[in-house]
Amino acid sequence: MTKHKNYGSIISRNEKKEKGMDNKIILQNGAGAFLENNGRYLLMLRSSTREIAPNLWSCVGGHMEKHELNDPMETCLREIKEETGIDKDNIYDLNMRYIIIRQYRNVIRQNYIYFGKTNTTNLIETNEGALHWIPKDELLNKEYTKTYIEMMKHYIQTPDPKKRTIIGIAGKQNNGLKMQWSIIEDFE
């Protein structure tokens, strides 16, 4: 097994199990973005060599670094720059629209998903996968992870002009995925 990093209470997914710690829950945080340009959204067809979601469509994004744990937008902007070459000066109207939470074995994955716009379509090559500009009416025709399929359906079928953040919690129902959606709002 790979050596792990421990970020306070956040422990990387490659942690060795410690004796008597078989039920330890590991938190994994990530952030990403779906950028739009003239009605087309930037998606990545993930490389077959990726550990998580190989050969599936996704947003541009990745895992949070230690110094980013309280700032998912910093992660998002860094990942956009690394994977696409798009600088933050070419991104606007970037809003956290979804927080997706799911458990996979002893790992709780929490992904902060942003939707925004960019004024450029110039991209760099990346070893993460292949970047494509996809028309909005084709977004639901792509093969995503199960939670991202549900998120994209929610995004397309439940437009929110206020661009509020929605939390999606993945649960199990009838041996399948059941997403529960809730808008996060300040109640005071």
With respect to residue 30, please indicate whether it lies within any of the assigned structural domains.
yes
With respect to residue 16, please indicate whether it lies within any of the assigned structural domains.
no
With respect to residue 2, please indicate whether it lies within any of the assigned structural domains.
no
Residues sharing a CB contact under 8 Å with residue 182, sequence separation 6 or more, in sequence order: 166, 167, 169
Q: Are the beta carbons of 46 and 55 closer than 8 angstroms?
A: yes
Q: For residue 23, what pLDDT is reported?
A: 81
Q: For residue 165, what pLDDT is reported?
A: 97
With respect to residue 1, please indicate whether it lies within any of the assigned structural domains.
no
Q: For residue 176, what pLDDT is reported?
A: 92
Q: For residue 21, what pLDDT is reported?
A: 60
With respect to residue 19, please indicate whether it lies within any of the assigned structural domains.
no
Place of tokens 């994994």: 28
Range of the domain at 100: 25-183
Integer CA distances (angstroms), 24 to 118, 169, 183, in order: 41, 20, 29
Residue that wins the pLDDT comparison between 158 and 7: 158
pTM (2 d.p.): 0.87
CA–CA separation, 176 and 173 (whole Å): 5
With respect to residue 149, please indicate whether it lies within any of the assigned structural domains.
yes
Q: Which residues pair with 91 in a beta bridge?
A: 118
Residue 6 has pLDDT above 50, yes or no: no
With respect to residue 155, please indicate whether it lies within any of the assigned structural domains.
yes
Which band of pLDDT confidence, cut at 50, 70 and 90, is reported for residue 37?
Answer: very high
Residue 61 belongs to domain with CATH number: 3.90.79.10
CA–CA separation, 13 and 150 (whole Å): 24
Residue 27 has pLDDT above 80, yes or no: yes
Q: For residue 52, what pLDDT is reported?
A: 79
Residue that wins the pLDDT comparison between 170 and 47: 170
Residue 4 has pLDDT above 70, yes or no: no
The pLDDT mean for the chain works out to 89
Residue 135 has pLDDT above 60, yes or no: yes
Q: Is the dihedral of CA 98, 146, 142, 13 positive or negative?
A: positive
Residue 28 has pLDDT above 80, yes or no: yes
Residue 8 has pLDDT above 80, yes or no: no
Residue 89: exposure state from Cβ atoms within 10 A (0-12, 13-18, ≥19): exposed
Give the rounded percent of residues in the chain with a pLDDT score beyond 70: 88
pLDDT tens by residue, 57-66: 999 999 999 9
Tell me the mean pLDDT in the region 70-80.
97
Q: How many domains does the chain have?
A: 1
